[in-house]
Every structure is written in C-alpha cells, then in structure tokens.
Structure 1
Amino acid sequence: MIDARLRGRMDRKFGEQHLMREREKRLYEASVDGSVNSLKQLMKEDPLALARASVTCFDETPLHIAAMLGHLDFAKALASHKPDMAMIMTTAIDLQGRSPLHLASANGHIEIVNMLLSLNSNICLICDEDGRTPLHLAVMKGHVEVTRELIRARPEVTGHKLDHGETILHSSVRHNRLGALKMLVESVREAEFINARDDYGNTVLHTATTLKQLETVRYLLSGNMVEVNAVNESGLTALDVIEHMPRDLKSTEIRESLSKAGALRARNVPANGEREIAMVIEESRLDSVAQPLDVSPRVGLFSRGISNKTDSENKENWLKGNRDALMVTVGVIAAMAYQAGLNPPSGVWQENNIKDDEGNIIYKSAGTSIMAVNYPDGYPKFMAYNTFSLVASLSIVLLLISGLPMKKRIFMWLLMVAMWVTITFMTLTYLISVRAVSPDHEHPYINRVVGNSLSVWLGVIGFVLLVHTIRFLMWCVREVQFRKKPISIKSCLRDWVSNLLSCK
C-alpha cells in the first residue's frame, strides 16, 4: 500500500517535470519563431511559464532570443505580460554576461533597442564579461542609429573604458567604424573626451595613425578639438608613429595631412614653459610700437631659434633618408679602389724574365704591375689618386657608423668634404687609367678628352664653392643686420666656426 502511494507520487512528479520541460521547449520555439500566438496559448495553459523560465533558463531568456533575432512583436508581448517581470528580464544576463540590450545593439535592431530603453535605461550601463557595454557592441558593429539612441538614453556611458584604458573612441577606430566615430564625436563634442588617452598614453589620433586609417585621420584633423601633437608614454606623437612605419601611399598621405595640420615630431614639440614664452613674445609683438627696443631682440632670438631648429631637422632628415644610399655608394667606390690597387690597368706580369718581340729578356717579377713599366710617369699618380679615393671612401663609412652626432654641422661638413675628395680622386684615377690602356697614337685625343673633362669638373667644384661662399657672405650680412652694429671679418669667421660646432 505504501509502495503504491510512493510510486504514485513519483509518477506525478515525473509527469510534472516532463510537462514543464515540454512547456520550456515550446516557449523556446515560440521565441525563435517570434510567434505571439504560441506565447499567448502557453500563458493560458501556465501563467507562471515566464516566471519559471527566468529561474530555470541560465543560458538565455526568451527576451534574449527575441532581442537577438529582432522579433519586436514577441518582445513587446513579453514586456506587456507583467511589468515587474519585464524589468527582471531586461536586466537578466546570459552565460557571457550579456543583457538583451547587448544582443539587440550588436545586431542593430533599433526598434527593440528603443523598447528596452523605454523599460529601463539603466541597462545601458551593464557590462558583459569582457567589460563591454551595449554601446561598445553597437560601435564595434558600426550601427550608427543604435549608437545615437544609447548615447541619448545615458550620455555617461561614453566614459566607460575597457582593459588598458581603451575608450569608446579607441574601440571605434580599432574596428574601423568611421560612422560610429563621427556619431560619438558629434554627440559629445568635448575636447577632453576626444583627446582621452589609454594606459599607454595613446589618443585616438595615435590609434588611427598606427592602423593607417586615412579617412579617420582626416576627419579627426578637420575639427579644432583634437590635440595634434599629443605625446604618448613612448614619447611619440602621431607624426612620429607614421615616420616609423614602412613607406607606402597611405602613410605618405597621412604624413602630409598631419603636417598640414601642424603636427610635429616629439623632439620639436615645445614644453609648457616654452609655450608660455612664445605667448609672452606674441603679446609683446602686439605692443612693439610702444616698446620697440625691448621686444625686437627677443623676437629675433626666438625666430632664429625656430629657423635653426627647422634647418637642423631638414639636415637630419636628409641624412637619414640618404644614409643607406650613401653607404652603398661609398662601399662600391671603396671596392673599386681596392680592386684597382691590387689589379691595376693592363694587369700584372704572369711570369718572371719574359722576352720582348726582339727576343731580349726583360727582367720582371711575376705579379707586379705592367702599367709601372709601360707607363712609368702615370703609374705613381694612378696609385696616389686611387689611394686617396680609397681612404676618403673608408673615412665616409667610418663617419656613418661611428655613432657621431651627425646633426652637428661640423660632421655634415666633414662628410661633404670627404665625398668631394672621393669623387674627385676617383675621376682622376679613371682618366689616368684610360690614358694607360690607350695606344700611343691615341694619346693626343685622350689628352684633349682629359683636359676638357678636368675643366668641366673644376668648373663644377668652383660653382659649388662659389655658392657656399655666397651663403657665408649672406650669413655675415644677416649677422650685421641682427646685431645692429658693425662687425669685423674676424668676428664673422669666429662666429661661423662656432656655429659649425653647434647642434643648431
């Protein structure tokens, strides 16, 4: 008797559990299909079906499924059944910590987003297991309208940061969502928000430049709130970032856009104190009529400092851009000079004591230069010129790899003079070699060619020296005008040498 009652209770319990599982399955299928009629029929059979689902469905609730699939009518039916139950379902999270608003935002279902926000706008601030709000998912997927509605509901959600301090602007750029970025900037319109930094000191302009997003960079620069010369924790501005990247069409266009917007390398960005001095000088310039004697010298010094810094940067950029090409060039010249020294024109004697055409024995050592016998007057010149060319080219290599501060003018001048010497003596070596390997009856013609070539070469060198002399005289004139008093040639030369030894 007792066993029969116990068996009856167990059968009823199993029957109820089977019925509940069957209703949960029907509720899930109605959610997937978005069938409002199936939901109503189920609620008639069991008014507590939704309440049980909110307790037993640990993965996702019916509202999660409706929000994910965009079933607006079904979502409204769920929300209208019981208001208090609707509030619980809007804040429910799945196994990844996502609310129904997360799923609706990620899939761009704007109507469901608006419905959920009308029920509870605080769900904008719920974060999933990765720390992302519904706004992050909408921005990452590029849903601009959803982004607008989420910001309108709770504007403070734009200040939420992810790991490593990544802001919502960083997320939009990292996923290349320019439309969402524009919506965020236009909705907030605060310089502090646009120039916010992550834990590495990178602004959104740094990130866009790193990812070579040309249109994003141009949009950020088109406004007047972005800080163009912000320096990150690595000591780099946006212009530094693009300068360290491989050269291609995009990087070139980004570099041009940054330069037009006034971007500078980090080493050229003035410190706070320098900015204040610049402001004081600018204010003083406005009062120059009242105080001409006090202001003009400071303005001149400041302007000269900027000009010298620009000239130094141009020289350093020139050297960096041509360093590799210069190293290859002098390497080739050194190899040619080395080879010419060991194997002069006409070669070397192959054996000892050879005979001439008349049968006479010529006492020579194998491996010695034939040119030394056939052209005794030119061989010493050839070896001297070739040695000068080799030593000068090796000196250039030493200067380039020595680690010396090449932005100092003295080293730039040494490099230039060494290159002059190398090319000049290499040219002379070539002309003597041509004469040595030419027949005797061609020597008059060769002499004319050599003479004309030397004349042209000396003319080029003279022209270069003339240009530098004119530049030196112009520099002396500027010094006289700047100092407002007579200056001697000796003083000019002393200041010029001092200027060469400076880094400016």
Structure 2
Amino acid sequence: MDPRLREAAETGNTDALYVLIGNDPDILERIDQIPFVQTPLHVAAKQGHIRFAVEMMNLKPSFAKKLNPQGLSPMHLAVIAGQNMLVLRLLKADKDLVCVKGRGGLTPFHYVVKTGICVLLVRFLEACPECIEDVTVRDETTFHLALKEDQIEAFNILIGWLQRTRRTHGSVFSFEKKMANWEDDEGNTLLHIAAKKDQRDELKLLLDSQLWLHVKAEDSNGWTALQIIKDTNRRGVNINRNESEVETKIKQLKDKVTFERIRVLGDRTRLSMSVDMINTMQVITALVITAIYTSSLSPPGGVWQDNGDNNTAAAPSLKIAQTYPFSNNILANTSKILIFGDKTERAGTAIMNQQIYGVFWFLNLATFGFTVTDLVTVFLLSSFHLLLFLAIPLYMLLISYFCSMTILAPTISWAYVNLFFMALFGFFPFLLFFSLLIFSKSIRQKKAEFRYRNQMREALGMNLLGPSRTLMFCSQYILDGTFGLWMPST
C-alpha cells in the first residue's frame, strides 16, 4: 500500500484520499486485485475512523469483505480493537459482513462472542440471525466458543435467543435440537465443555431449558457429561467467575422462558408455510365448514313437524312407498331395521330415508373432519397466540355438530352412533395424549434419558424433575413427534 494512502487512512483524512485518487486513479484498483491485502479500510477500521471507512466502502465495497494477510476483514479488526461504533456503522451498511469467515473460520460474530461484547452480540443477532449457524474450522459454534472463553453472560444470551427464535429447519424443533447438540471436532457437546470447565450454572441452565440435550453423548475419549461432572466433584474443582451488569434487552434474553415458548413454536410453524397456501386454506375452509354445519341443522328433506300419525301428511312419499310389495317383504324390512334401526317419526328428526341418511352422514362427517383439521392448522399458522381463544370454540363447534346430528337422527340406531362420536371427540384430546405417550417407539429411550438427566441434576445439587417439569418435557416431546408427522426434518 502506498505510504501516503496508509497515512490518510490512519488519520481518517478523506480529503487526502481524494487528492491521491486524483493523482493516481488506479490506486485503489491495484489494491483490489490482490487476494489478501491490508486495505485502507482495514487501517481505518482498526483506528475507528468512521467517516473515512464509510467513504472507502462507498468507493470500494469489495474492501469490506477482503481479508488481510492475517486472515482478518475490516469488521474483524474493528471488533478486536473495540471500535463498537464503527462496527455498528459497518453492520448498517452491510449485515452480511457479520458472516465473513476469516482465519480459522472465525466470523466477526465469533469474535464478538469471544470478547463478550453483549451489546454487539444482540445487535448482530437482530440484524443477521443466520450468523449463529456459522462454525469454525474446528466445528465450533458460538455456543462452544462462549463456554470455552468463559463468556458466561454471552452464553446465557445465546441460549435465551435460541429458545425464542422463530427459525426452523424443516420442523418446529429441528433447529433447536441441532444447535443444542452440536459436536466440535473432538466430539464435545455444550454439556461436555461446561462439565470440563466446571461451569455449574451453565450446566443447570442447559438442563432446565433444553429438552433435546443428548445427555448420554460421549466425547472423543468416551466420556459422558455426567462422568466428567462426577470426576470433577471428586477432585473438588471450583471456578469462580464474575457477573457483570447487562442492559434491559440482555436481561430479557437471559430470563427463563415460560408461556412465551408456546408462541415461539407457533411462529416457527407459521413461518415455515407459504402465505398463499394459508390464505387459500382459510377461504376454502370457512366456506366448507359453513355449508356442512348448516346441513346438520337443516338436513335435506326437512324434519318431522309432529309425532306419530300426524307425520303422514308431511311425508306422503313414505305413505305411498308402504303400498309397494318391497315394503311388505318381511326379510327386507327386518334387515333394514337391524342395520339402520326403525324410524322414530318423532318431531324434530330427519324425514329422509335411513339408507340415504347413512350416506349423507358419512360424507358429512368425513368432510367436516378434514375441514376442522385444516381450520385448526390455519389458526395455528396464521396467529398462534390466538390459538387458545380459537381452538376452544372450534372444539365446542365439533361437539355441538354431533349433538345436533344425534337429535336429528331418523332412527334410534343412528342416534346412538352420533352419540358415540360425540363422546369420542369429547375425550379425543386425552386419547391423543395418552396414545402418543404409550405407543411412541422411543418412549423407553426417553425414560432412560429422563433418569440420566435426573442423575446429572443430582450430581449438580439441583432439584430432581418434579411432576410439572416432567409434564412440560413430555408435552414438548409429544409436540415434536406430532409436528414431525407432517413437517419432517430436512
């Protein structure tokens, strides 16, 4: 680099820069042709000259992603030098600079985590959420680096962000499971690193917040996190660490996730689907469910207006049908009564023929069932935080549908059939819960993991999983299996 250009960059003198460009128009172009070079933007970034750096990015945007001979970009140097204002200005100009990989595969975001600059950490995550997926050449995630560098505050923020992020990788839980159980090139998960460094608070945080931890995972030496914890307890290792003050947003990320967790999972599901598909489902579902429910209240042919003999005037076709030989066939009438039941001819019940009513009932039930399922999905995808307000009325609508069909049934047998389905759907949520819980293929494995997790909690002096905590974990596990049926991981 021309010494005069270097001096202009070190002093932040943009006037001198344009004088040099006027004397030699190719002065910046020659630098850009070198693959790894110290550019004027590198120098200005290290010194914190914001105006000069922005001017240089305007003239040569490629300089922002160019690495110097040490394998560092301008944003790398600005982070290392603590030039936070300049870092934020570069971030505003191009958020992709956060993901530029330098020496060892380290990005500026990795350096922010290693240095524990929590203000920049939050700003980077807001501007470029994808940066959390970058790994080093040693397969280390930002979570690994935070633990290895004893940046406890940064680690707590990352875990809080992971629980709240709407990002998905195919299914609702796949991204969170992937990040929580990522292994570096030595087979170390987050549990292994925290256990080896005796970071008790971080181990407790992981066990409390992450259902998906592979607690039995082994490192390259064949050790599980529990074995490392027990070995550390025997040696009596204790590491003291200081906690620093954080801003309001940082504290919010560090707080435990409670009911917000449900909303996060719903938003992840919503963001994985296309808007056009959701809108189409909403329109079609609303029309179909309206037509079906109306037909249950007013079946084709109407209903009997009076009881007994008074109904003959309302249904002359049935009176005429009784004069035909088929109606006098004892065998036909007997089989018809056994299968469909005898007509009650009560006021308020359907007039239609029993056989036709069977076809009508089956088609109505099948269509209504699929429509209700789609409607729940639409509500879930479009606005999950309203699910509790929408799902309950929808569920009651389904029960009232079968109640209406029970009352309108033309025969006692059909009334019992509808009554059975009304009771079945009344207990359906509970049946679904227990069936998924009992018939899951990996239920034994999950029980073993819960026992192992409790052993880790005991070794760390934590309370064992109580009924409420166990129920929460089981619920998330069942949700994972349910979503996995129609949203497989990619």
**Under a length normalisation based on structure 2, what TM-score does the superposition of the two structures give?**
0.42
Bigger RCO of structures 1 and 2 (CA < 8 A, at least 6 apart): 2
